[in-house]
Amino acid sequence: MEPLASTIRPKKLSEFIGQSHLVGKGKPIRTALENQHLFSFIFWGPPGVGKTTLARIYANALNVEYFELSAVSSGKEDIRKIVRFQTQENKAKVLFLDEIHRFNKAQQDFLLPFVESGEITLIGATTENPSFEIIAPLLSRCRVFILNPLQPKEMEKIIERTKLKIKADA
């Protein structure tokens, strides 16, 4: 049985609640998806505001080869494997690196040439200020999007949707 968090996690932008400054009409993430525009960026915000979910929605909508790593438990060898991975139909490779601020400077330096060359499109997620935690050359190749805490009305919507998805036999 799939965990509840996975069951209720939005799969499409139309299901995503919150962060209207990024996903609303004419806003950067929505516009990028509408234009099929792939670029590297970093989501910065507190836990539980949709960084991972929004990264998955973005990658899925652009039909790319998607890889997800946690900077806490991965390193250079994991990046090497992704770079070496042969995609089907030469799809672009998108790496979601959760807790990117946990990569040390040497690991970030190792990642840089792959982002520079376009071999990897990077989506980083962090709860820490990227200006202090991400090396300048890598940061300069990414847009930074700030995700805000969810508002009470947004939380109500999420809770309401959760109730609708719970089956009687759960």
Q: What is the CATH number of the domain that holds 15?
A: 3.40.50.300
User: Residue 143: is its pLDDT beyond 60?
Assistant: yes
pLDDT digits (tens, 9 = 90+) for 32-73: 999 999 999 999 999 999 999 999 999 999 999 999 999 999
pLDDT at 88: 82
pLDDT at 90: 86
Weakest mean pLDDT among 4-8, 106-110, 136-140, 165-169: 165-169
pLDDT at 89: 85
Query: Residue 70, class by beta-carbon neighbours within 10 Å (0-12 exposed, 13-18 middle, 19+ buried)?
Result: middle
- In DSSP terms, 143 is beta-bridged to 41
Tally the domains of the chain. Answer: 1
The answer to whether residue 153 sits within a structural domain is yes
Block residue for tokens 């505001």:
49
Containing domain of residue 66, as a range?
4-162
The answer to whether residue 104 sits within a structural domain is yes
Opening angle at CA 59, ends 97 and 32, nearest 5: 110
The answer to whether residue 169 sits within a structural domain is no
* Residue 138's pLDDT band (cuts 50, 70, 90): very high
Q: How far apart are the first and last CA of the chain?
A: 10
5 vs 114, residue with greater confidence: 114
The phi-psi region of residue 169 (left if phi > 0; otherwise alpha if psi is between -120 and 50; otherwise beta) is alpha
The answer to whether residue 86 sits within a structural domain is yes
Weakest mean pLDDT among 15-19, 32-36, 165-169: 165-169
The answer to whether residue 167 sits within a structural domain is no
The answer to whether residue 168 sits within a structural domain is no
Structure tokens at 59: 């990658």
The answer to whether residue 50 sits within a structural domain is yes
CA atoms of 156 and 77, how far apart (whole Å): 42
pLDDT at 2: 75
* Model-wide pTM > 0.85: yes
